[in-house]
Amino acid sequence: MTYWSEFLTIVVAHALAVASPGPDFALVLRQSLAHGRRTAIWSSIGIGCGICVHIVYCLLGLGYFLKNSPAALAVVQYLGAAYLAWVGVQALRTPARSGDLDLGAAGTAPTSRAAWTTGFLVNVLNPKAAMFFISLFPLAVSVHTPKLIQAGYGLWMTLATAAWFCFVSVVFTREEVRRSFLTHGHWIDRALGVVFLGFALSLAFATLG
């Protein structure tokens, strides 16, 4: 398998994975609707940076350790479930908005650092993301492929992930979309809170099972 064929395999597999609804998408959706474009984009960049963590442990061979160590993988799963549950509770606790439809109002939007950190942690602590990379590298990448080339694959996935979620951020922060949210945002926040709690419970039960 040539480097280009490896790369194309990774591009297709990663594109299908990143476009599938999951915790990352739910987070960017909520940040876009509740806090606006700046917050959503910083969270998107954080998600992209989270990909780097998965790439690094795969390059260092730690992916094999996680895949073959049920205890270590369980720790990651429980941490991920706990953090997703926390994000869900925060969404459920969001107070009802007034009738003020000022789209430029900053409100209680998190700082850029807080938005980045949330995106980073949601991605890093998502066991499904971890399992994707742990499974993808052994299947798509030859053991003879130089680490520098593998790092290039990882850089592509990092940039592509950040770019995709930045695009999602732009789409969901369009004026007409946010205006609708500010009218019904209280219920959308709660619905997304339930989604995050659902992800958390799913991870917890999968770990127990």
Q: What is the pLDDT of residues 77-92, one digit of tens each?
A: 777 778 778 877 877 7
- Residue 99 pLDDT class (50, 70, 90 cuts): very low
Average pLDDT, stretch 177-195?
71
d(CA 23, CA 130): 13
Q: What is the pLDDT of residue 170?
A: 95
* Tokens read off for 95: 């107070």
What does the alpha-carbon distance between residue 41 and residue 43 come to, in Å, rounded to a whole number? 5
Q: What pLDDT shows up at residue 105?
A: 47
Looking at residue 177, its amino acid is V
Give the amino acid at 58: C
pLDDT, position 96? 61
Contact 116, 45 (CB under 8 A): yes
Q: Are 181 and 105 spatial neighbours (Cβ–Cβ below 8 Å)?
A: no
Residue 203 has pLDDT above 70, yes or no: no
Q: Which residue has the tokens 């609804």?
A: 21
- Residue 101: predicted pLDDT: 44
Averaged pLDDT, 136-150: 84
pLDDT tier, 154 (very low <50, low <70, confident <90, very high otherwise): very high
| Pairwise CA distance, residues 41 & 112, whole Å | 9
Q: How does the average pLDDT of the chain come out, rounded?
A: 82
**Mean pLDDT: which of 19-28, 71-80, 152-161 is highest?**
152-161
pLDDT classification of 106: cutoffs 50, 70, 90 = very low
Q: How confident is the model at residue 137 (pLDDT cuts 50, 70, 90)?
A: confident
Per the CB < 8 A criterion, the answer to whether 24 and 120 are in contact is no
Please count the helices (runs of H) and the strands (runs of E) in the chain.
Answer: 9, 0
Rg (CA), the chain: 18
Please tell me the predicted confidence (pLDDT) of residue 100: 47
pLDDT for res 128: 79
Q: Which residues contact 146 (CB under 8 A, 6 or more apart)?
A: none
